Structure 1
Amino acid sequence: MSTTTTATRLLDPTRWTSKIWTGEWTSGASGEHAVQSPSTGALLGRIGFASPDQVDAAAETAAAAQHDWAARSYEERAAVLRRAGDLWQAHIDEVTLWLRAESGSAAAKARFEVQTAAQECYEAAALASVPYGEVLRSTQPRLSFSRHFPVGVVGVIAPFNAPIVLSIRAVAPALALGNAVLLKPDSRTPISGGVTLAAIFEEAGLPPGLLQVLPGHGASTGERLITTPRTRVIAFTGSTGVGRRVGELAARHLKRAHLELGGNNALIVMHDADLAHAPSVGAAGSFVHQGQICMATGRHLVHESIADEYVARLSERAEALIVGDPAGEEPVQLGPVIDERQRDSIHAIVTDSVAAGAKLRAGGSYQGLFYRPTVLDRVTPDHRAFREEIFGPVAPVIRFSTLDEAVELARDTEYGLSLGILTRDVMHGLQLADRIPSGNVHINDQTVNDEAPVPFGGVGNSGTGSRHGGHLANIEAFTETQWTTLRGDLAHHPF
């Protein structure tokens, strides 16, 4: 894909090249940014960068547009979200091509992401009509009730790894509930993570100003998105380190921050696990999208009685996986990692762990940004591959002998996002899960799972406990709660 590729109806580059979206395509005051394929280095396009002043102006425009949007009937808002869902499906082939080229997504992951975006919009359309309050008891002769109203302007800061899903899961419900949204996509994936959303919602009939896409370089644009007075809620997905800074800045300005951060997720493989399938489950958890997923399986805790066979079969699967350019002609299962910095970080963790005593059973090498799926055996809690979020296609295997040891190893992390347990005794697996703090638990599946209707979030350093997904969680995230009372006559007070 290049800037000379034949323009398509949804993502015609002549409209958005070197631009930002404020309800219309306009030049970015901070210049432009080259968007390159991580697979080939080829130029895919150029996007505009918003200046801090443009963020302020966008917030004012969004706030003005939001009043009319919130006053519209839920039917009108739902209709826009339903049309957006239909448009994701109608343009799935085109958007999938961009995901494959820009984010290094394999075809299956790219299609899943677009399909999920459609489902997020359909769920949000249904959200527009759910009850938005409850009748409360009162000690006085009056009607007492709570009701939810939009916060106003929501700021969304999204990452590169699932650029559409990790944007739309906040954008769609926030819009459905009557808010306006300022979206800052990652500068490495601004087309699939930003331009596509602008184009979809424009075609769906969303009034101008309600969704604005503001790519930026460095921290200045994101910081202004948080500090500009009109934004009241910030939805951030990214690393724990950056999340801390986002939370601190939001708190200083009395903004709510929903933080979905990193993970170092354990997959516990019990002694009775089905070894014909367990290694495939583990491989999916560690290698899908090159391991660049916060829910990725970062630690395989395997009972010592089956560990040798598990490692052998997992290594066979790793060696058999096809790594290459997802935008090329040949089908591949893994694409490139996003950039050299990420590749070098992955390789340093692998080589440091091997130097410290871990055994390399597969992978451990790269060509360009293509990192081979890697299996490390005999990993211990002293190794970097145990302690750190790798964010790459690496499966560290740690052996345990007792359930208490497995629990201790699983809990030995600052994170608490996702947990998988493989066992034939599912009730025993659930009892085990009760001993391990985690925002998500999957018995007899790997750690990477997400669906539009489901509340999603983590504990510990994986986030603030806020949830994306599900009607109740979204209402709590993107509305304010107001207590209201009604009396038939004036109240009598002894004053």
Structure 2
Amino acid sequence: MGLLDGGNWNGKIFVDGWIDGGGGVRDVVEPATGAVLGSIGIADASDAARAAESASRAQKAWAATPPEERAAVLRRAGQLWEQHQDEIDSWLIREGGSIPPKAQLETHRAANDCYEAAGLPTHPHGLVLPTNGPRWSFARRRPSGVVTVIAPFNFPLILSIRSVAPALALGNSVLLKPDPRTAVSGGVSIMRIFEEAGLPPGVLQLLVGGADVGEAVVAAPEVSVVAFTGSTNAGRAVGALASRHLKRVHLELGGNNALVVLPGADLALAASAGAFGSFMHQGQICMTSGRHLVHESLHEQYVEILAEKAQHLPVGDPFAEQVALGPIIDSGQLNRIDAIVKETVAAGATLSAGGTYDGLFYRPTVLSGVETSMRAWTDEIFGPVAPVTAFSTIDEAIALASESEYGLSLGILGDVGLAMKVADGVPSGIVHINEQTVDDEPNIPFGGVGASGNGSRFGGADANIDAYTNTQWLTVRSEIAPYPF
């Protein structure tokens, strides 16, 4: 029997077991076909309150569990992702519109996130500090308590598990709120994996819901840390609410990432990198190459090659045929993409490729002659759109790349010496020289600056320990200290 066979989760949430949610039931819809794949339970605020109370009780025993036992649960989870990869891949393809290689990447990454997290329980959790008194002085890391994880639809598995796994490994309990549009691949699958891996009851709770549930899992008094991945506007709201309740909050938000093509760069390789950076997963990635800055000596040819690639990339149902792009997640997102493209063309940009759609299938689109005041340049589009503009000097490239409120990822293609100058001049949480803007690994500290986040980091032992534990100062004397009172 498969991991998701049996239907015990169908139409349910998970609060100490699979139960009916107070918010009713929602269909799980395949965006490529409109077919209903199943149903998911919807929580309400009272479900979130019960889950937080239970998670707080369960966390104390889980934190006291020997490190090797917590590590073993994470290792078993990693093995289960590998054993059930084909099944989970199918859900990522059908529920989220992923092409198979992208789905396989997510499942592979989920296993590796769990394996990476399995090293955290036995990682050094403190320091011995110098002290002026006759005592020992320590800074030790303690579990934060209850961690809320809120994740989006675009990479639903990676963007959930990268916080869930380390938070659990470090002795916390977790409230997981995935996007309702991808709640099976980004929520149910994680819940089922950890059930099978032997995670004690109550340590992980699954709450699918709307803004009321989001507010409840942030404001719950038992919650100490909030890890949020999503849009900048939603992140601002989560950050404000968390701050009001004195919660530590880690925000990984949107991006409008620059891809800089330097003079002398190999055009064929650069255009290939640009196409991947803008069109991978229909551009629905926070790290998507959202602004192509191309040296004036290469600009015209770059646009031609990129447009030709866009015109020949197959678009369709990734579950039924071999395609490069699948569907946009829903009509609301597609309409926004199309409105930005149309408004930018009306403002004077040239539509060099794409700009059309059939159902939720939006053609990969290239816009040239884009000015910095146009929406396709200023906004995070979150669609398969490549806006291109030319620059003449390296200083101009730096200025253009820096002219954004976002600061997530930067790609620079061409001469490494010039690229180093650009890298030093542009504020960005991530810089890739001679690679496009989309990349991530379990062991690297991932995050952005500006409107792309509050500087928090996801991934890697040091960043995860900082994110999901608190520092406690502890002193020890051989006998009670004397005082003058």
TM-score normalized by structure 1? 0.97
Q: How does 1:348-427 map to 2 (within 5 A)?
A: 348-423=339-414, 425-427=415-417
Contact kept, 8 Å, 2:51 with 2:205, in 1: the verdict is yes
Cα deviation for residue 173 of structure 1 reads 0.1
Q: Distance in 1 between matches of 2:417 and 2:19?
A: 57
1:288 and 1:204, CA in 2 relative to 1: closer, same or farther beyond 3 A? Answer: same
Counterpart of 2:226 in structure 1 is: 234
Q: Distance in 2 between matches of 1:460 and 1:276?
A: 33
1:259 match: secondary structure: strand
Counterpart of 2:484 in structure 1 is: 494
Cα deviation for residue 428 of structure 1 reads 2.7
Deviations 1:256-294 (A, max 9, x none): 110000000000000121112110000000000000000
Q: 1:27 aligns with which of 10, 20, 25?
A: 20
Cα deviation for residue 320 of structure 1 reads 1.1
RMSD of aligned Cα (Å)? 0.8
Counterpart of 2:95 in structure 1 is: 102
Aligned amino acid, residue 459 of structure 2:
G
Cα deviation for residue 122 of structure 1 reads 0.4
Contact kept, 8 Å, 1:453 with 1:469, in 2: the verdict is yes
TM-score normalized by structure 2? 0.99
Q: 1:461 aligns with which of 447, 451, 460?
A: 451
Aligned amino acid, residue 475 of structure 1:
I
Aligned amino acid, residue 420 of structure 1:
G
Identity across matched positions, percent: 60
Aligned amino acid, residue 387 of structure 2:
P
Cα deviation for residue 13 of structure 1 reads 5.1
- 2:257 counterpart of 1:268: no
**Equivalences, count:** 485
- 2:251 counterpart of 1:251: no
Deviations 1:387-415 (A, max 9, x none): 00000000000100001110110000000
Q: 1:472 aligns with which of 443, 462, 467?
A: 462
Q: How does 1:10-409 map to 2 (within 5 A)?
A: 10-12=3-5, 14-216=7-209, 218-328=210-320, 330-409=321-400
Aligned amino acid, residue 296 of structure 2:
E
Q: Distance in 2 between matches of 1:20 and 1:13?
A: 15
Cα deviation for residue 431 of structure 1 reads 2.3
Q: Distance in 2 between matches of 1:64 and 1:333?
A: 47
Q: Distance in 2 between matches of 1:310 and 1:382?
A: 22
Contact kept, 8 Å, 1:407 with 1:435, in 2: the verdict is yes
Contact kept, 8 Å, 1:13 with 1:45, in 2: the verdict is no
Q: Distance in 2 between matches of 1:358 and 1:297?
A: 18
Contact kept, 8 Å, 2:289 with 2:436, in 1: the verdict is yes
Cα deviation for residue 251 of structure 1 reads 0.5
Q: Distance in 2 between matches of 1:29 and 1:146?
A: 43
Aligned amino acid, residue 35 of structure 1:
V
Cα deviation for residue 489 of structure 1 reads 2.4
The runs of at least 4 consecutive aligned structure 1 residues that moved more than 4 Å come to none
Q: Distance in 1 between matches of 2:225 and 2:264?
A: 46
1:16 match: secondary structure: coil
Aligned amino acid, residue 472 of structure 2:
Q
Q: Distance in 2 between matches of 1:357 and 1:9?
A: 53
Contact kept, 8 Å, 1:22 with 1:208, in 2: the verdict is no
